[in-house]
Each structure stands twice: as structure tokens, then as C-alpha cells.
Amino acid sequence: MRVNQFSMLSILLLWLIGFNDARAQSSETVTIQTGELSALFRDNSQSPQLLSGVQSLFNVNRAPGYDAFDPDDPGGSAGLNFEHIISGHNNPENKFSPRHGKYSLSQDMEKKTILLERKREDSPWSVSSKMKYTMKPPYFIDFEFECVPHDCDPFGQRGYAVFFWADYMNEVEDVSLHFLGIDRAGGMEKWIAADAPKTHPDYRGGGTYRSAAAQPLHYDDDHNFKLNLWSYDYPRITKPFYVGRATQGMAFILMFDRLYSAEDEIRFSLFKFKVRDGRQRPAWDFQYVIHQVEPGQQYGYKGRLVWKEFVSYEDCIHEYKTWKSGSNNNK
């Protein structure tokens, strides 16, 4: 009888351990610390009240009390937050569709990896997608996006798709995005401080910068979300990374494995909705553009976030070159 009781207790204990482990693998939030970074990742089960992606990010060595992302706005505190899928036509789903519908979170704690995944049936665009985040010492978050559009009809005659990510920053030293680019046709590559001036009829608090090789995106006159489609003619980007100067001497660097090809491109966006009343909390965003959506085709990109002490712009170039030299998928 004692053996049977012990066996039943053992089975119950193992079941409880397995149940708790399963719950851990499907949590709404996961905190990972490695090297100098501590990050809180979140699914979108409470979105839009709480946003998915990296909800908080700390460099525990250099600025332990300073969250990279806006800590005072729960509904707008996130980084690498997948926020929009946009077509060139008027469509109610142009705004915030990734904030709604299931995006499941899974984790591999041994590899310091978080995966957010959406199935085709949970997307109004009929797009299945995965966003993977991997923390690497001393101060990196590598990220990788994959998607498959299963139906090109939602993107209409213009055929392109814009995938948009937001980084809602805490207080920064300089609102501008700093990138290597040109300020005129035929100009020499140099550092650009892009502060999104009001120079376009569809301006709404900010704007987008495209690569030197890219053409502007055309969109319908009655489009309901123009602010994320138009782009400045100049300056233009020549290298696929930007630097943001945050307070407490910190640098926020985003870099990508591509800038422009016949198939796709990366664009940088700056919005200043929270740059007011003595605060400097910009949105340092980016876009991935597929020029002509083909059903069943897999698309995507890879990138790296760096959250470290700012040393110099030359040091930022070094970070990009070091990462690029170890990447096998550069374009």
C-alpha cells in the first residue's frame, strides 16, 4: 500500500512539475538577463493596454535605473514592437493590426530566446509571421523576422506591404536619428542628424527616411494612414543602421542585414508625439517593405539592437562592422 501511495505521489509531483513547466513556456511575460542587459518580453494578450515585444530594457552595469523605453506610459512602453502592416490603399487594417489577435509567446531559456508567432488565420492580412529575439552578451538583442503572405489580394493593385516596428523611448539627449547617408544627389557619405522636420503635406508629428537607392512609395489619395508611407527625399540612408543618443550617456543602436534590394528594403522613421512639455521621448522606429507581395513566398530580415554606453560614432560603426562580418545573410 505504501508503494502504491508513493507511486501516486510521484506521478502527481511529476505532473505538477510538467504543468508548471508548460505554463512557464507559454507565459505572458518573460524576463531574461545576460551580460549587461535585463529585458522583459511580453506577448500581446493584454494589448493594446500593454504592448508586445520588449517592454523594458536595462543595462544593469551602465545605467541600472534607466529603462530604455518609456516607463510612464503602459500603453506605449515597448521596443521592437510589431505595430502595423500597411498597404498602399485605404484599409481599416492599415492601423495597429498586429496589436489585435493572438500572438503566442514561447521561450528557450537555455538559448536566451523568445519567439512571438502569429498564424495566418489570426491576421486580417492573411500573413503568418514569427519574430524571434535572442539576448547575447554583453549588450545585444538579436532579432529575426519571417513572414509568409498567403494571399496577395489584401495588398491591392499597388502590391507592396509595409511592416512597421516601434521603439517608444524614455528621455533622450538628442531626438534625432543619426545615420550614415547623403544630404543631396551625388553627395558624399557622412553622418546625418535627422530630426524629422515638417516639410511634407502628409506630415503628422514625424516622418520616414529611405535608402539612397530607393524610390518613394505611392499611395491612394484617400489613404487612411499616410503618415507611415511618405518619405523625405533627402537626406537618404547609405548604411543599414542608426544611432540614438539617450540620456545617462547611453547609445541605442539598431542595425540590419539589408538596406535595399529589388525585393525589399529597410526604412527608418522618427515620430515626435511625446516630444513636448519639456520631455524628449521620441519613437525611433523602422519599417520593412516588401515591394511586390507574392503569395506563399517567405520574406524577412535580421537585425541587432545594441544598448550600451556611447563611446563615439566610430565605435558605433565598429559595432555594425563586427556584427556584419559574422552575418551570413547580408544584402
pLDDT range class, residue 101, cuts 50, 70, 90:
confident
Evaluate whether residue 251 is within a structural domain. yes
Q: What is the pLDDT of residue 17?
A: 36
| pLDDT value at 185 more than 80 | yes
Quick: pLDDT tens for 223-247.
999 999 999 999 999 999 999 999 9
Residues 246 and 159: their CA atoms lie apart, in Å, by: 37
Q: Indicate left, alpha or beta for 221 from its phi (over 0: left) and psi (-120 to 50: alpha).
A: alpha
- Strands 279-280 and 113-118, by their bridges, are unpaired
Q: Which residue has the cell 505532473?
A: 15
pLDDT range class, residue 11, cuts 50, 70, 90:
very low
pLDDT range class, residue 327, cuts 50, 70, 90:
low
**Averaged pLDDT score across all residues of the chain:** 91
Residues 219 and 109: their CA atoms lie apart, in Å, by: 43
Evaluate whether residue 191 is within a structural domain. yes
Q: What is the pLDDT of residue 74?
A: 78
**What is the residue-wise DSSP string for 202-228?**
T-SSEEEE-BTTPPPPP--TT-S-GGG
Note if the pTM is more than 0.75.
yes
CATH, residue 254:
2.70.98.10
Quick: pLDDT tens for 121-138.
999 999 999 999 999 999
| pLDDT value at 284 more than 50 | yes
| pLDDT value at 9 more than 70 | no
| pLDDT value at 162 more than 90 | yes
Evaluate whether residue 5 is within a structural domain. no
Specify the amino acid at residue 61.
N
Cα angle value 150/154/156 (rounded, 5°): 120
Evaluate whether residue 21 is within a structural domain. no
Q: What residues does 118 pair with on adjacent strands?
A: 129
For CA atoms 273, 116, 255, 234, the dihedral sign is negative
Evaluate whether residue 331 is within a structural domain. no
pLDDT range class, residue 76, cuts 50, 70, 90:
confident
Evaluate whether residue 307 is within a structural domain. yes
Evaluate whether residue 23 is within a structural domain. no
- Domain of 301 in residue numbering reads as 29-325
- The cell numbers describing 174, all together, are 538628442
Report which of 167, 162, 123, 169 is spatially closest to residue 287, judged by C-alpha positions.
162
Structural domain count of the chain: 1
**What's CA 142's distance to the chain center, in Å?**
11
Residues 266 and 176: their CA atoms lie apart, in Å, by: 18
Evaluate whether residue 12 is within a structural domain. no
